[in-house]
Structure 1
Amino acid sequence: MIISPIKTKPITFFWYFIACLPILLFFYTFIIYAVNIPFLDDFTFFSFIPILYNNSNGFNKISVFFSQHNEHRILTDRVVALLIYAIKGNVDYEWMMLVGNSFLVGILVIYFKVFQQLNLSFKYFVSLSFLIFNTQIFENSFWGMASVQNYGVILFVLILFYLISSSKRNYFYFSFIIAFLATYTSGNGILGSIVASILLLLQNRIKDCLIFSVFSLFLLGSYFYGYISPPTINYFNGVTSKDILIGFFSFLGAALDIFRNYSFRYIFTTSAGFIAFLGIGFFFRTSIFRSKLFYPNKALNQVELFILGSILFILVTTVIVVITRVNFGQNSLLASRYRLYSILLFINLYFAALFYLKVGITNKIIFPVLLIAICYNLISNYQSNYDVVALNKTRNCGLANDIMANINKPIQSGILVYQKSPLWFDEFLPQFQKPIANSPIWGEEYSLKKSTLFLFVIENSTESYLKKNQCDGVYLLLQSHDNTYILPTNQRRNSIKNFLQTGQLWTNGFIGDFTRKQILVGNYQLGIWMQKNNKGESFYLNDSLSIK
């Protein structure tokens, strides 16, 4: 049954304030822990700027923007980076992250535009802020080019569905531009155009569907023109149909991966995904077969079409990710960088419930739903705070090691493409490289062990200190005749029970791990670097490590 319209209540300052709280907390966390440090693809990404500036041919300059980056064409990333370069004189990855995270605000705005058509009080919308703006999605949020690419493609695809699901003619014309941007923001953007064609078909807009389908084929052809396929990988090596099915449901339920330290983690996310899939099935049965395509006298409205398009896009993306990642294990499908898709799936199902349920029922569920969303946000932030701090330390140590090794030059073809911001370790680099054997002996209990063939773990359960700065903590020093490395450890986190009782996020001890591939071959003496209150001191560990 379609919900009957009711009068919209005045949007009070209180509900605005509640809706803004998770957004403010999200960006506050971002400001504290974001650092202008390139990561993985970022190092090769900024090489397009020297190519652009050193090329005199106008056509070649344009083709640089559309050139392939790994398996993607990342026009939006390059435009954003070029604008930042024009303003600052170099690519600032913290600025790129800020632009990418602002796309999350854009996603929230699009959902608000759809929500307005439900003709409900704003309090029904508040939950969305708590669901979207939490640090479960930290991997993309603190990664320069990935934040623009992965949040940007979702934003453009959702805008496309909003435009296509409207009967306004100018919206249809504008959708071509948005479809183009979605396609050239990330590889799965082309799925948005395919789904948009389906939405036009369900509206029985046959002419528009044909026109847009032709345009989608053009986008597909242009995207793969001159495309260099990555090395062939057997994605199904050792993978069973059961692995794929469980991976599919686990990916859909990844938003509820809030029990990462418990054995029932995978069962919980898989069950949540299965329940969500049942909800999808109910919505599809209710919506698709009630469309104008099957019943000329009936029609889906813009809300139903938008929800339908969003869910189809998420489902197809899920299938692609599962096929390409399932051989890395179920844990890879719960990675932070994919988490937003699952969150948006549950948001769309929530919108579907608001649309179809009677007013009396929605009035009863609003506050329980809001309470669940708030608790979800708090638990997610608690769980992910450890990861955000660890990521910040890892990025800092990675850049410090690059500087000591004199690699990843910021100047390419005579152009400064990246300029490091002042960081905490700058003044300590000479001390990192002083002989560890001349330092005092650190007498606290610790253990360094090989966890797997390639992974090493250092642990301690006694060291206690109060964190006053984000860089405070214990770091592992490795020194050989030719190389020096500083590697992060992370203070142990309190359990939720102890956290609620004491208000202390951290407890005694630290743990850190590093892989063989991070370290060049050599015999290394080990030490500890203690960073506290903007001061640092190294200690000798009566231990060594041989990397072969």
Structure 2
Amino acid sequence: MKILNVFAAFTVLIIAFLFYRFVGQNAVNVPYFDDYAYLEYIIKFINAPNALHFMQELEYKHNGHGVITAKLVFWLDYLLTGEANYRTLILVGSGLVIGLFTYFWKILSVNRLPFWYALPVALFLFTPAYHENIFWAAALWQYTASFAIGLLTYFLLSKNNNWAFTGAIIGGYLLTYTNGNGLFGMYVGLVIPLLQTRHKKAIIWLIACVLTTVLFYWYYPFGFGSLGQEKSLKNSALTIVSFFGSCASYFRGRLPEVAVLGVGITLSLISLALWLVVEYVKKLVNNASKGKILSVFTDTPANLSLLALLAWLLVTGLGVATARAVDTLETPARYMIYSVMSVVALYVTFLLILSQRGQKIMTGGMTVVGVIFAVSTYMFAASDVINFRNSLISDAFSLKQHRRVTGKLETMTNTVVKKYFDEAVEKGIYVIPTTALNEVNLIKADTLTMPNVSLSVDIDTLPAYGGILINKVRNEQLAVSQDKPQNALFMVLKNDSTAYVTAVKQRPNRERRSFLRTGNYFKEGFEAWIYQDNIPEGNYQVGFLFSETQKPRLVYTSQRLIIQDFQK
């Protein structure tokens, strides 16, 4: 047993090291969508004439979400460093995953289970599976942070002392103001003092919940929440299955696995909830002894925090299925962390319920599944992360040169966003990073060979905001060396006076044998998306910048691309 624990500890360290090395390689100091809003919040905090005005700005909702926690983190980053640094926020925020792992390890430890049972937990948590909640600073400090705060809140609430209870109330308030699902989380915590028969504390907790809700909705901008999809039992079922089962897409990149896992998690959570309710009612009505399952949670305070987590996951899934129902099975990146956390939470729960033999069998099986999952997340998700990183690098160049972004919805067309971004840059609140692109003269380049690169160009429409037109440029041959993690390929569009850069989406390598043999995330070819407003209309010569060495190589082709003004 001791050898297994040592081996598991060594393996966990390797898994965590690989994860954080990957985070360090791909976290960049460039904002993405909602990240821009926090520059506005920092400026408003600086300009607040008094404490009351500061608190009003802090409480102000962001797209219907109370994000006080994220605002405070961004504000603290500015106070400590003198600027808003998104890379720092990502690196620090990714450390929350250590907190999540430590929580589940603590549950196992309290129940006298060996450390090697925690190995599957590490295999699921220390991966890029929920990459949008890691590499997007705003999403990280809303979604990932909500779990860290929620688990801490439940753990403190399960402790029978006043200081811990006070800390839990503060945690519940911050949880409510972390993202939209946090409001469910605070109310769910009520089950802890109720099952502990701490009725006075339960009443105080309920009052705290109500007061927090009143504060939350006092200045709430109603109108957010529903996506406008048809409400039906079918759509709700598809949504909750997608919500819980999405992480299964990493096994083979297919939806059937998503359906199987989603149905399994949903039924497990509902069945467990019904079982516990029946046992609790029997105890109240017949004054009977606690049932086997109920006693597993109530006899150990820390286990009650796990029960609250399960209830929170179920309530959140039902809430999303009701308010944001969609008409298809999908794998939304922003909800991936809920799927991963559901798998881990249920795994630990079953360990508490099963016999010793069953625990070993389950741990062995989940370790095998976890290894496959961890490797598959790098095969499927790492390519998305690297392409995302490269798009932000091209954003850094485009923002500095043209005040535009590339390869995504144009952010700078929003005059409010542009106003505060310009002010943040002017005052040094945000410093646009210098990249390898800034060291290349994009107008002058080696064009002697003028290679004829095969390109196909299509115009597509993104069904958002009334329809966004996109130029999609494809190629099947070009690639960059993958011997260094920072290597990247960029497309350059040049006219007589200036040049624009956009990162291409390199084609991911989805062949498992090839990936395991070479370690390459990509195969030859790419697709570049040029959204309307990314680049002004005109006739551009197409070039490619191969960022493979300390001196990037830029070559222009004989191909030309005509960009239309879609607004005309």
Residue 256 (str. 1) matches residue 256 (str. 2): no
Q: Distance in 1 between matches of 2:53 and 2:484?
A: 47
Residue 178 (str. 1) matches residue 171 (str. 2): yes
Shift of the 414–447 alpha-carbon distance from structure 1 to 2, 3 Å rule, reads: closer
Give the corresponding residue for 2:275.
286
Shift of the 413–15 alpha-carbon distance from structure 1 to 2, 3 Å rule, reads: closer
Contact 1:529 1:539 in 2 (8 A): yes
Shift of the 21–57 alpha-carbon distance from structure 1 to 2, 3 Å rule, reads: same
Residue 274 (str. 1) matches residue 283 (str. 2): no
Q: Distance in 2 between matches of 1:275 and 1:413?
A: 49
Q: Distance in 2 between matches of 1:371 and 1:437?
A: 51
Residue 533 (str. 1) matches residue 545 (str. 2): no
**Offset from partner CA, 1:485-518 (integer Å, 9 cap, x none):** 3122233333434415742515652212315335
- Which of 328, 335, 350 is residue 347 of structure 2 equivalent to? 350
- Deviation of 1:223 after TM superposition, in Å, equals 1.0
- Deviation of 1:141 after TM superposition, in Å, equals 0.8
Q: Distance in 2 between matches of 1:539 and 1:414?
A: 34
More divergent stretch after superposition (154-163 vs 167-176): 167-176
Shift of the 465–185 alpha-carbon distance from structure 1 to 2, 3 Å rule, reads: closer
**Offset from partner CA, 1:5-38 (integer Å, 9 cap, x none):** xxx9698443221122221111100111110011
- DSSP 3-state at the match of 2:489: strand
- Which of 226, 234, 247 is residue 242 of structure 1 equivalent to? 234
- Which of 145, 149, 170 is residue 152 of structure 1 equivalent to? 145
Shift of the 522–268 alpha-carbon distance from structure 1 to 2, 3 Å rule, reads: same
Contact 1:473 1:490 in 2 (8 A): no
Shift of the 312–123 alpha-carbon distance from structure 1 to 2, 3 Å rule, reads: same
Mapping of residues 290-305 of structure 1, within 5 Å: 290-291=279-280, 295=287, 297-298=289-290, 299=295, 300-301=298-299, 302=301, 304-305=303-304
- Deviation of 1:257 after TM superposition, in Å, equals 1.3
- Deviation of 1:209 after TM superposition, in Å, equals 1.7
- Deviation of 1:482 after TM superposition, in Å, equals 8.1
Amino acid at match of 2:202: C
- DSSP 3-state at the match of 1:236: coil
Residue 425 (str. 1) matches residue 445 (str. 2): no
Contact 1:202 1:288 in 2 (8 A): no
- Which of 103, 106, 117 is residue 110 of structure 1 equivalent to? 103
- DSSP 3-state at the match of 1:69: coil
- Deviation of 1:268 after TM superposition, in Å, equals 1.8
Give the corresponding residue for 1:3.
none
Give the corresponding residue for 1:4.
none
**Offset from partner CA, 1:317-352 (integer Å, 9 cap, x none):** 223334454448543xx2222111111111121122
Question: Which blocks of at least 5 consecutive residues in structure 1 are unaligned?
Answer: 1-7
Mapping of residues 479-494 of structure 1, within 5 Å: 479=494, 484-494=499-509
TM-score by length of 2: 0.86
Give the corresponding residue for 1:211.
204
Contact 2:505 2:528 in 1 (8 A): no
Pairwise CA RMSD of aligned residues? 2.8
TM-score by length of 1: 0.89
Amino acid at match of 2:266: F
Question: Which blocks of at least 5 consecutive residues in structure 2 are unaligned?
Answer: 405-417, 463-468
- DSSP 3-state at the match of 1:374: helix
Give the corresponding residue for 1:391.
388
Shift of the 460–109 alpha-carbon distance from structure 1 to 2, 3 Å rule, reads: same
Instruction: Give the aligned length.
Output: 532
Q: Distance in 1 between matches of 2:70 and 2:268?
A: 35
Contact 1:50 1:413 in 2 (8 A): no
**Offset from partner CA, 1:383-408 (integer Å, 9 cap, x none):** 11111110111111122222221364
Shift of the 22–48 alpha-carbon distance from structure 1 to 2, 3 Å rule, reads: same
Contact 1:90 1:418 in 2 (8 A): yes
- Which of 43, 47, 58 is residue 65 of structure 1 equivalent to? 58
- Deviation of 1:356 after TM superposition, in Å, equals 1.2
Give the corresponding residue for 1:457.
472
- DSSP 3-state at the match of 1:36: coil
- Deviation of 1:522 after TM superposition, in Å, equals 1.4
- Deviation of 1:361 after TM superposition, in Å, equals 2.0
Shift of the 150–369 alpha-carbon distance from structure 1 to 2, 3 Å rule, reads: same
- DSSP 3-state at the match of 1:411: helix
- Deviation of 1:437 after TM superposition, in Å, equals 12
Shift of the 508–445 alpha-carbon distance from structure 1 to 2, 3 Å rule, reads: farther
Q: Distance in 2 between matches of 1:383 and 1:229?
A: 38
Instruction: Report sequence identity in percent.
Output: 19
- Deviation of 1:213 after TM superposition, in Å, equals 0.7
Contact 1:66 1:75 in 2 (8 A): yes
Q: Distance in 2 between matches of 1:242 and 1:441?
A: 55
